[in-house]
Amino acid sequence: MSAAGGNNMTAPLTLALSKGRIFDETLPLLQRAGLSVLEDPETSRRLILPTNRADLQVVLVRASDVPTYVQYGGADFGVVGLDVLLEHGAAWGHAGGATGLYQPLDLQIARCRMSVAARADFDYPAAVRQGSRIRVATKYVQLARQHFADKGVHVDLIKLYGSMELAPLTGLAESIVDLVSTGSTLKANNLVEVEHIMDISARLIVNPASLKLKREVLRPVIDALAGACEEQR
Ligand code: PRT
Ligand code: MG
């Protein structure tokens, strides 16, 4: 499929969002930009939600599918965590970003950090110093691989799809790479942050072909969202 995918000029603008944190935190920005979503994804079973504008609709996809939708033009633009965006880009061999996606805005929402965490009784600095092989469980295999390779630390990466915190508790791995916001999940599971990898926030991503073909409708929406971010800061 070409990058232009589904984006013909008469079709409505399509914004890809994921349910939960991203949807909930994008909503106030949309509001400030004069856009409202007319159905609640938590109660509706629909995957395409109308907005107060006939030429704009929201599609609900898994957080990790947002870059894919936007890359192939299944959506013209979307909101995605930097964690998901970088992992997606790295999987495509593009360090630092995903595959030609235009990234005009750091929305400064859904903020957290990506960290290495381990059991409180695991001496991570010593293991690193001694050059031991550390087993690391994570959903972010590409980013974790890059991080440890840059430091010259030997790791065996174990791919998980969720509940990373369980891995060190069950002996599956000595440490994890995961997102931390308040720190209460780590604390509740007797884990401690041993290394900060990067700060994370949600980004607006745009299909480059859409930006050309639908510029007249898309550009003002991007600008309004930029203004909304500025106000919310
Ligand atoms: O849940 P699903 O598998 O469908 O997808 P997802 O987990 O990717 O989506 P979602 O909605 O959970 O997260 C969407 C985006 O929100 C992520 O890609 C991040 O960019 C961002 N974000 C911000 C977070 C957090 N903060 C966060 N705290 N995503 C996840 N968490 C989790 C973290 O993984 C850990 O399990 O919350 C737990 C830690 O929180 P604290 O507050 O206890 O530290
Ligand atoms: Mg989740």
Of 181, 189, 192, 203, the residue with max ligand 1 atoms within 8 A of its CB, to mutate for a pocket test, comes to 181
Residue nearest to atom 6 of ligand 1 (CA): 63
pLDDT digits (tens, 9 = 90+) for 59-74: 999 999 999 999 999 9
Architecture of domain 112-198: 3-Layer(aba) Sandwich (3.40)
Mean pLDDT, residues 159-163: 97
How far from 103 is each of 48, 69, 172, 226, CA to CA, in Å?
A: 23, 14, 37, 12
Would the pTM count as exceeding 0.85?
yes
Ordered by start, the domain boundaries in the chain are 7-111+201-232, 112-198
Q: Does the pLDDT at position 184 exceed 80?
A: yes
* Domains 7-111+201-232 and 112-198 alike in fold: yes
Q: Are 140 and 84 in contact (CB under 8 A)?
A: no
Q: Does the pLDDT at position 98 exceed 80?
A: no
Of the pLDDT bands very low, low, confident and very high (cuts 50, 70, 90), residue 1 is: very low
Q: What is the pLDDT of residue 233?
A: 84
Task: Record the tokens describing residue 179, joined without a space.
Answer: 């997102």
Which residues, other chains included, contact 21 with Cβ-Cβ below 8 Å and sequence gap of 6+? 110
Ligand 1, closest atom to CA 165?
A: 36
d(CA 146, CA 20): 28
Ligand nearest to the CA of 117: 1
Of the pLDDT bands very low, low, confident and very high (cuts 50, 70, 90), residue 2 is: very low
Is 7-111+201-232 a CATH 3.40.190.10 domain? yes
